[in-house]
Amino acid sequence: MSCRSNLSSWQALEQSAANLKQQKLKSLFAQDDQRFDKFSCQIPGLLFDYSKQLIDEDAFSHLISLVEEVNLDAWRKKMFCGEKINFTEDRAVLHTALRNRSGSSVMVDGEDVMPAVQTELDKIKHFTEKVRSGEWTGYTSKAVKDIVAIGVGGSNLGPQMATEALKAHTDDKLNVHYVSNVDGVQLADVLNKVDPETSLFVISSKTFTTSETMTNANSAVKWFLNSAKSEAAIEKHFVAVSTNLQKTRAFGIADENVFTMWDWVGGRFSLWSAIGLPISLYLGFEVFSDILAGAYEIDEHFKNAPTSQNIPIIMALLSVWNTSFLGYKAQAILPYDQALHMLPAYLQQGEMESNGKSVAFDGRTVEYTTVPLIWGMTGINGQHAFYQYLHQGNNIVPADFIASVKPQKVVDKHHDILLSNFFAQTEAMMAGVDEQQVRKDLAEKGIAQEKVEQLIAHKIHQGNRPTTSMILDTVDAKAVGRLIALYEHKIFCQGILLEICSFDQWGVELGKGLASAIEAELTQDNVHHEHDSSTNGLIAYYKQRR
Ligand code: F6P
């Protein structure tokens, strides 16, 4: 496997980056009135505009060559065909099989996984209908009113993000509450609001060993038994999503109430599996199914669109370009749509848990920065929090701006005001305000010359801050599916471009192991491990005062 920096496209890109760092985006727009047409594309339901990224045709052609040189096409085929591209865990990567609508088989270890996928989807559908119709009843024969979804990381973020994105579409049949934090405040808060007779707990954990989830699940059972008094009642109020039948049985959940997934579904890519059960219960199976349909559209686009029009590939290329070549080490995700307020948190796990690594496929340390730090919040709130940094800070942070043409709810002129901000911000970040303009503005306001000289440097905006704008038709189930799948494939492409194994998460395992050792020190007498003096001091401080 050749080192990426030895590739001719990589070297050409280093040269392009050196040239483009001297360029102003504003001038690139002034020189070419076709720039928007050249650097934007549309697919059903989405406009993708990357013309405000610091690229030119030359750099873009080298990026396309990089895709060819790393043989992305072969890797893409391997992923869709079920080859074990997660080689450190010896697993296939097949979240695409969960939304495969083509009717064709997908083989893993000589077996077609599609019948099992369909069986599980049918099970989700039937269970959803039973619960939502009131046919499924609790230990006092009452219908379910509240779903309490317990899980963490990929077993929480996807369903919760999609629920938040689509809650405007609820028919109000059920409420859903998510509990992910082992801080008991979150669970206590939810349990305060729900009634044990009408609550259904969905315990989502691929492994069924994750300490935070099992702690919350056990406390929920204890709370439930305080009222129900009989362990036999558990099966009517607790279901699980897991691959670990041994553990779900030990927990007291009947096998027929366990929804399965497979080791070829990574946690942060599991929303499409039964991990999405809370979405289906809350919004109905049709909505869940539409999310999958939206994602399948993107799978087809990703497989078939030419590289220069392939949105997830372009997203990955721009990320690599900004991070590894231009040296911008962070990226903001800025949804101008309240429904997408959890998208930054979701993508933090998606991108950073997947590609926040520094070792290449063959084990050597890579010589470039891999993925950026992902952060953000809804754009409007961000404007009043951290946009000062985006406009005038001395670190440049490329940003994805996401909005929709039609709001989920029309309230007077709110959406036009929201979108005015969306358009204004990307324009301002691109163009900035130069000295001449600042002088003109201050002169027009009649500001005294002495004051002008004092203000001038403070009011100049350098601009040249790269942004991508995505405009969805509206935030509905298909759009949510499309958006998530775009980012998923972007993450896969980034991994290939950067030679990073995107589908393991060894870095998370380290902290888990250390925490369980320290937990014994906090909860058992006479257990003491040697730590550094800081950790010893912190533990002692806590133990003395708790
Ligand atoms: O954060 C680490 C991680 O392993 C994620 O990848 C996963 O989504 C999460 O923990 C939860 O794991 P589980 O579903 O096994 O409880």
Q: How far does residue 271's CA lie from ligand 1's centre (Å)?
A: 12
Contact between 163 and 277 (Cβ < 8 Å): no
- Chain-centre distance of CA 267, in angstroms? 11
For the Cβ of 206 lying below 6 angstroms from any atom of ligand 1, the answer is yes
CATH H superfamily, domain 107-289: Glucose-6-phosphate isomerase like protein; domain 1 (3.40.50.10490)
Q: Tokens 């799948």 identify what position?
A: 485
Alpha carbons 264 and 82: distance in angstroms, whole number? 8
For the Cβ of 335 lying below 6 angstroms from any atom of ligand 1, the answer is no
Nearest atom, ligand 1, residue 349 CA: 1
The best mutation among 91, 203, 245, 353 to test binding of ligand 1, ranked by most ligand atoms within 8 Å of the C-beta, falls on 353
In the set 135, 222, 384, 409, the catalytic residue is 384
The best mutation among 505, 506, 512 to test binding of ligand 1, ranked by most ligand atoms within 8 Å of the C-beta, falls on 505
Radius of gyration of the chain (CA): 25
Alpha carbons 513 and 130: distance in angstroms, whole number? 40
Q: How far does residue 480's CA lie from ligand 1's centre (Å)?
A: 22
Alpha carbons 375 and 355: distance in angstroms, whole number? 15
For the Cβ of 154 lying below 6 angstroms from any atom of ligand 1, the answer is yes
450 catalytically annotated: no
Maximal C-alpha separation, the chain: 83
Dihedral of alpha carbons 374, 472, 276, 227, sign = positive
For residue 179, give the amino acid letter: V
Alpha carbons 279 and 302: distance in angstroms, whole number? 25
For the Cβ of 356 lying below 6 angstroms from any atom of ligand 1, the answer is no
**Helix H or strand E segment including 442:** helix 435-444
Nearest atom, ligand 1, residue 512 CA: 2
Dump strand ranges (E) for 160-303: 175-179, 199-204, 238-241, 258-259
3-state secondary structure of 317: helix
Nearest atom, ligand 1, residue 267 CA: 8
Of the candidates 366, 335, 336, 331, the one whose C-alpha atom is nearest the C-alpha of residue 348 is: 331
DSSP code at position 322: I
Q: Tokens 């084990």 identify what position?
A: 363
Q: Give the count of beta carbons closer than 10 Å to the beta carbon of residue 411.
A: 7
For the Cβ of 350 lying below 6 angstroms from any atom of ligand 1, the answer is no
- Kindly report whether the global pTM for this prediction surpasses the value 0.95: yes
Nearest atom, ligand 1, residue 266 CA: 6
Q: Give the count of beta carbons closer than 10 Å to the beta carbon of residue 311.
A: 23
3-state secondary structure of 48: strand
Which protein residue's CA is at the shortest distance from atom 9 of ligand 1? Answer: 153
Q: Give the count of beta carbons closer than 10 Å to the beta carbon of residue 454.
A: 11
Q: Any idea what the Cα angle at residue 118 is, between residues 116 and 124, rounded to 5°? A: 105
For the Cβ of 349 lying below 6 angstroms from any atom of ligand 1, the answer is no
Predicted confidence at residue 509, as pLDDT, reads 83
Contact between 477 and 339 (Cβ < 8 Å): no
3-state secondary structure of 410: coil
Q: How far does residue 70's CA lie from ligand 1's centre (Å)?
A: 30
Q: How far does residue 155's CA lie from ligand 1's centre (Å)?
A: 6
Q: How far does residue 240's CA lie from ligand 1's centre (Å)?
A: 15
Of the candidates 425, 130, 413, 117, the one whose C-alpha atom is nearest the C-alpha of residue 272 is: 117
In the set 21, 77, 451, 512, the catalytic residue is 512
210 is written with which tokens? 């994750």
For the Cβ of 331 lying below 6 angstroms from any atom of ligand 1, the answer is no
Identify the segments of the chain with pLDDT beneath 70. 1-2
Alpha carbons 262 and 242: distance in angstroms, whole number? 8
Q: How far does residue 268's CA lie from ligand 1's centre (Å)?
A: 8
Alpha carbons 144 and 298: distance in angstroms, whole number? 35
114 is written with which tokens? 């599609």
Q: What is the value of ipTM here, to two decimals? A: 0.97
- The full set of domain ranges for the chain reads 107-289, 433-458, 506-545
Which protein residue's CA is at the shortest distance from atom 6 of ligand 1? Answer: 267
Contact between 92 and 266 (Cβ < 8 Å): no
Which protein residue's CA is at the shortest distance from atom 4 of ligand 1? Answer: 267
207 is written with which tokens? 């492994």
Strands 330-335 and 399-406: parallel
Of the candidates 344, 480, 488, 469, the one whose C-alpha atom is nearest the C-alpha of residue 408 is: 480
For residue 131, give the amino acid letter: V
353 catalytically annotated: yes
Q: Give the count of beta carbons closer than 10 Å to the beta carbon of residue 483.
A: 25
Predicted confidence at residue 179, as pLDDT, reads 98
3-state secondary structure of 178: strand
Q: How far is CA 7 from CA 51, 64, 76, 170, 313, in A?
A: 26, 13, 20, 51, 18
For the Cβ of 153 lying below 6 angstroms from any atom of ligand 1, the answer is yes
Strand order in the sheet with 175-179: 175-179, 146-150, 199-204, 238-241, 258-259
Alpha carbons 329 and 162: distance in angstroms, whole number? 28
Alpha carbons 293 and 541: distance in angstroms, whole number? 53
